[in-house]
Chain A
C-alpha cells in the first residue's frame, strides 16, 4: 500500500476549502498552512492560462528531507507517508532547506500567536492542546491525514473511498478536484487517473518522485446523457439516508 493523491487542475477553482479543512483537521496555528495555493496567471501567444496549483507535501518517494534529518525524526512509513516524529525533531531545520518544494514550516514561537493576537485563546485553540498539540521548535507539514488513515484502516475503511479514512481536504473539495488512494493498486481511482489522464508530478526533474500527481484537460466534450442513477436520483439516495427519509415524507404527502 502506497498512498497517493491526484489533483485535477481543470476542476480546482481556487476556493481555499482544502486550506481551511486542513487547518481545522490539525488545529493549525494561525500562520501555518500545510496546503497552499499557487496561482499561476500567464499570457502566452494570446492565450491566458489561469491555473491553481494546490500544493502540499508530496510524500516524495525519494525524499531529500529524510536524507538530511540527523535524528530520523523525519521518516517514511510503510505506506509511503513521510512523517515527522516531533519528539525526535531537534529543530535543526535542515529539512526545511532540503525540501525543494518549500513544503515544510518551522513552528517558531512567534508563529504560535493566538487567532486574535491581542485577545484570549478561542475554545477551539484551547482544545488544540488536548486534541492535536503542536510543538514549538519543530518542523511541520502535511501528513496525508495519517491519523484518519490509521484510525480507519483497522475498522475496515478504505482511504479515498470512506470519508472517515480520507484526508480532510479531499472530503471538503466542492470541485471534487482531489482524489486519494493506493498507488500500488492498479485498479484504484488514483492509479487509473494517472494512466488515463497522463498525470505529471511537480518538478519531476528534481528526482524526488512525488506521490502527489496533477492531471489537466479541457472542460466539456462529454456526452450529456444522464446515467440511470442520476435520473432516479438514486445516486443521491444511495449515500443519503436523510434524503431517503425526506423522499418518504414527500411521497407520503402526494
Chain B
C-alpha cells in the first residue's frame, strides 16, 4: 500500500459548508466522505462526493488561454500567466485612463466563494459596477430583513440552543432539504423536523416533503406577496398576532392592518389560486403555534415584485412575534473571527463610485453596492454603458440572466473580457482571455457560512491541474497590478489577514486551517437581542425608529411605498389577459435539483447520469390538453423565443403552471452557439423589461408560455446524437419513475 494521508476540509460544491474528510494515496484521491467532527455530522450530498470527477476531469482548464478568433467561435491559444496578467493590466489601466474607473465591470457567479475577493478588487480599482447574481438570490431578503429589523441576517433557528425548536416551519418556494447550503444546511433543517409540530410547504409543485407535511399550499407563481398579505389579514381579523411583541417593539401596526384589509381569504384565493381554507389554516398555524420560522427560497427573489413580497413575509414573521425568540428567526452572534465580509467592507464605496453605478437612479435598494445587470445589458446595447473591460469570475451571466439573446449581444459588444473558471462554458467562450481556476479540493481559503455564526477552512488536498490557480491567488495578482496598496505579498498573507481577529488577535491562517472551524453556538448564542443593549442602549432594533418596522420611513424617503404592495408579474393571466390567451401556462424558469448547482455539473458524468436532459414538469391534465406524453421532447415558447425540454408529466405540478429546468447549457455542445445555450435554457424565454422597483429583479419564475410537441426532425443538435460524455448510453440507470 502506498502512503496514505487523511485531510479534512470544507465542501464548496454548492454554497458549501459540509465538513469533508479526504483520503489521498500516492497523489490520488481514493476516498471522500463527510467529516463527522463538524456541524454537518459527516453527511454529504452527491455534488460534493462527485468532486472526484472534477479532479482529473479532462475538460478542466489547465492554462491561461486567449481567444484568437471571433467571440464565441472557440478558437483558443495557450498563453503564459505573465502574458495573461500583463494584458489584463494594460487593458484595465488603459480603460481607467481613457474612460474612468467605472468602465471596469467585475462579475461573479454564486459558487466558489470569491465574493469578497471580487468586491475588494472592484472597490480597490475604483468601480462599483459589480455584476452579481445577488439581486435574484439572497440580496433582496437580506435587504428587506435589514429594512424591517435593522439587521440583514435573519436565519431560521434550527438548532435548539435557546431551548426550543421551531414549532411551526414554513418552506416558502424553497426546498432546503436539497438546496443545501443555499442559506442554511439541509442537515440542520431535517434534524429540526424531529422537533416540529407543523410543517407548511408553499410551493406550486409537490416537493420531497409535501406529501407528508402538515399543510401544502400551491400558489400561482408570482402571487406570493398576496398570499402573505392574505395570511396577515386572517391574523388581524382573528386577533392572533403577538400582542406583547407588537405593542412594545413594532412600528406601523395600524397602517399594515389597513393595507392587508382588502386581502380577505376570498380575494386572496382568487389571486393566488390557493383554496381559502388552506390560507386560513396556514395563518392560524403560524400565528398560534409559535415559535416558528419561514425559510424563503430564491424563486421569490426572481420576481419583479420581490421587494414587497419579502417585506410582506418579514412582516408576517414580526406580526407573530417570530423574531429573535428561540426557535424563530434569529440573527446570530458572530464567531471571534468577526465578519469575513470586512475584507471588502473596509474599502468603502465612495460617493464618486456610487454615482457611476449602472441602475442606481432607479433600483435604489438593489443597485446600491452592485449594478443592475439587466439595466447594464440594455445600456451596453444602446451604447450608453461605460463598460469597456469586464472581469468575470465563475458565473454564467449568459445562462442565468433574463433574455439570453440580448445578454449575448451585449456581452459580445464589450471591448475586452476576462473569464476565470474551471471549465469552458458560455461566458468563457465570450471572453478574450480565460484563466484556469482551482477546485475547492485544490486550494486554501476561508469559507463563510451564510448564517454567519461560523466560518470554516478549505484546506488544500491536492494540486490543481496544469497551471490552474485559486481565485484568491488570481485576484491578489491582478489586484497587485492595479491597486497594490490594497493587496498582499502572498496568498497566505492575505488569508492571515482575513482571520487575524481570532484567538485574541493572534490567529494565523495556519492555526485556523488546523482548527477547521471558528463558531459561536450552544449556550454562547444570545436570543432576544432587542431586549438588551446589544443593538441599542436600553434595547430596541437597529432601525431608525428602534422598532421592528412594519412601516418603513426609509423606503418612503427613497420614494417607495412604505408598506407592502402586491403587484402582478409583468406577464400574467390578470395583468396581460390577451397574452395569456395565446400563452396559457404560468411558467417558472426552474427549481433546484439536488445533483446540480445552478449552471454547474452537466459535465460531471455521475451527476449528469441523474438527469441527462432538462425536464419540464407539467400536470397530467395540461399534458393531455396539449397532447403531450411523459418523456416527449416539447417546445416551450414565449414572445421572446422557444426552447426544448423533455416533458415530465407530474401529478405534483399545479394545473395551469409548468416548471422548467433552469440554467441549462450543454457543455458537450460546440463553442459556437455558446455550448447550446439556446437549446434548452429557459432564460431564452424570460423578459428583462419589467423589473422589481427596489431590486431590479426580473420575472424569472413567473411568466407566460405555451407548449407543444417537438418533431423528431427538430432534434438536430449534437447533444441529441452524440455520446461524447458517455451520458447518452449510460444515463438513466439510477432513477426509475414508477407511475400507477
Interface residues of A (CB under 8 A from B): 10-17, 19-21, 23-25, 30-33, 36-44, 47-52, 113-120, 122-124, 126-127, 131, 163, 168, 171-176, 216-227, 230-234, 236-237, 239-243, 245-247, 249-254
Residues of A within 8 A of B206 (CB): 41, 48, 50
Is B111 on the interface with A (CB-CB < 8 A)? no
B670 cross-chain contacts in A, Cβ below 8 A: none
Cα(A41)–Cα(B730), bound, Å: 24
Question: Is the contact region of chain B dominated by helix, strand, or loop, or is it mixed?
Answer: loop
Q: Is the Cβ of A20 less than 8 Å from the Cβ of B213?
A: no
Please tell me which one of the listed residues A14, A221, A225 contacts residue B178 in the complex, with CB atoms under 8 A apart.
A14
* CB pair B212 A243 closer than 8 Å: no
Contacts of A17 in B (CB 8 A): 43-46, 49, 594
Which residues of chain A come closer than 8 Å to B161, judged between CB atoms?
226, 230-231, 233
B187 neighbours in A (Cβ, 8 Å): 174-175
Q: What residues of A have a CB within 8 angstroms of the CB of B8 in the complex?
A: 242
**8 extra A-B contacts, CB within 8 A, seeds A15-B178, A242-B38, A250-B335:** A12-B208, A15-B594, A17-B44, A50-B210, A224-B166, A224-B197, A230-B159, A252-B503
Chain A residues whose C-beta falls within 8 Å of the C-beta of B43 in the assembled complex: 17, 171-174, 176
Contacting pair B522 A234 (CB below 8 A): yes
Residue B180, interface by CB 8 Å: yes
Contacts of B708 in A (CB 8 A): none
User: With A224-B291, A226-B160 known to touch, is A48 a contact of B53 (CB < 8 Å)?
Assistant: no
B516 within 8 A of A: yes
Q: Which of B29, B502, B739 contacts A41 (CB 8 A)?
A: B739
Main SS at interface, chain A: mixed
- For A36, what are the chain B residues with a Cβ–Cβ distance below 8 Å? 733-736
Q: 4 closest Cβ contacts across the A-B interface?
A: A233-B522, A226-B160, A43-B651, A230-B160
Cα distance, A219 to B594, chains bound together (Å): 21
* CA gap between A99 and B283 in the complex, in Å: 50
Does B339 sit within 8 A of A, measured CB to CB?
Answer: no
**B518→A249 contact, CB < 8 A:** yes
Give the residues in chain B near A113, CB-CB below 8 Å: 726, 730
- Contact in complex: A219, B212 (CB < 8 Å): yes
Are B52 and A222 in touch, CB under 8 angstroms? no
Chain B residues, Cβ within 8 Å of A38: 735-738
Contact of A242 among B516, B652, B730 (CB under 8 A): B516
Select B652's contact among A31, A48, A115, A223, beta carbons within 8 Å: A48
Contact, CB under 8 Å: B522 / A30: no
With contacts A20-B46, A223-B195, A246-B515 known, is A174 near B180, CB below 8 A? Answer: yes
Q: Is the CB of A233 within 8 A of B521?
A: yes
Separation of A23 and B606 alpha carbons in the complex (Å): 9
Q: Does B392 contact A (CB under 8 A)?
A: no
The answer to whether B165 touches A226, judged by C-beta atoms less than 8 angstroms apart, is yes
Nearest CB on B from A70, distance (A):
27
Asked whether B736 lies within 8 Å of A39 as measured between CB atoms, the reply is yes
Residues of chain A within 8 A of B41, CB atoms compared: 239
**Contacting pair B725 A123 (CB below 8 A):** no
The reply to whether the CB of B75 lies closer than 8 angstroms to some CB of chain A is no
- Taking CB atoms, residues of chain B closer than 8 Å to A216 are 212
A116→B159 CA distance, assembly (Å): 42
Binds A, one of B54-62, B239-247, B379-387, B551-559: B54-62
Contact B164 A21 (CB under 8 A): no
- Whether the pair A124, B517 counts as a contact (CB closer than 8 A) is no
Q: List 8 A-B contacts (CB under 8 A).
A: A38-B738, A41-B739, A43-B652, A47-B211, A122-B52, A175-B186, A231-B523, A243-B39
Taking a contact as CB atoms under 8 Å apart, the answer to whether A222 and B502 are in contact is no
B65 to chain A, nearest CB (A): 19
**Is B193 in the interface zone, CB < 8 Å from A?**
yes
**Closest approach, in angstroms, between the C-beta of B15 and any C-beta of chain A?**
14
Q: Which residues of chain B from 9 to 44 have a CB within 8 Å of any chain A CB?
A: 25-34, 36-44
Q: In the complex the two chains form, what is the Cα distance from A14 to B193 in whole Å? A: 17
How far, in angstroms, from A24 to B57 measured CA to CA in the complex?
16
Question: Is A122 in contact with B49, judged by CB distance below 8 angstroms?
Answer: no
For A224, give its contact among B36, B59, B165, B212 (CB under 8 Å): B165
Q: Which of B52, B502, B595 contacts A253 (CB 8 A)?
A: B502
Contacts of B335 in A (CB 8 A): 246, 250
Taking a contact as CB atoms under 8 Å apart, the answer to whether A226 and B31 are in contact is no
Among candidates B42, B524, B736, residue contacting A250 with C-beta atoms closer than 8 Å = B524
- Chain B residues near A13: list those with CB within 8 A: 175, 177-178, 186, 190, 208-209, 594
Q: How far is the CB of A38 from chain B (nearest CB, A)?
A: 5
Contacts of B291 in A (CB 8 A): 224
Q: Give A116 to B55 CA distance when docked, in angstroms.
A: 12
Using CB atoms, name the residue of chain B closest to A16. Answer: B46
CB distance from A179 to the nearest CB of B (A): 13
Chain B residue at smallest Cβ distance from A53 = B738
Structural contact, B194 and A222, CB atoms closer than 8 A: yes
Q: Which residues of B contact A52 (CB under 8 A)?
A: 208
The 8 A CB mask of B158-196 against A (1 = contact, 0 = none) is 011111111100000001011010000011001101111
Interface contact A11-B735, CB-CB below 8 Å: no
On chain B, the residues within 8 Å of A171 by CB distance are 33-34, 36, 42-43
Give CA–CA (A14, B206) in the complex, Å. Answer: 13
**Are A16 and B605 touching (Cβ within 8 A)?**
no
Inter-subunit contact A225/B38 (CB<8 Å): no
- Let me know if A19 and B46 touch, CB within 8 A: yes
Identify the interface centre among B32, B326, B606: most chain A CB within 10 Å of its CB: B606
Contact indicator A163/B36 (Cβ below 8 Å): yes
Return chain A residues, CB-CB under 8 Å to B523. Answer: 231-233
Q: Which residues of B contact A19 (CB under 8 A)?
A: 46, 610, 734
Given A21-B49, A38-B738, A116-B726, check contact A247 B524 (CB 8 Å): yes
Partner of A127, one of B25, B39, B167, B178: B25
Residues of B contacting A30 in the complex (Cβ-Cβ under 8 angstroms):
605-606, 609, 726, 730
The distance from the CB of A184 to the nearest CB of chain B, in whole angstroms, is: 26
Contacts of A40 in B (CB 8 A): 738
Chain A residues in 8 Å Cβ range of B524: 233, 247, 250-251
Known: A124-B29, A127-B25. A240 touches B651 (CB 8 A): no
Report whether A231 and B521 are in contact in the complex, using a CB–CB cutoff of 8 Å.
Answer: no
Q: In the bound complex, how far is the Cα of B625 from the Cα of A117, in angstroms?
A: 41
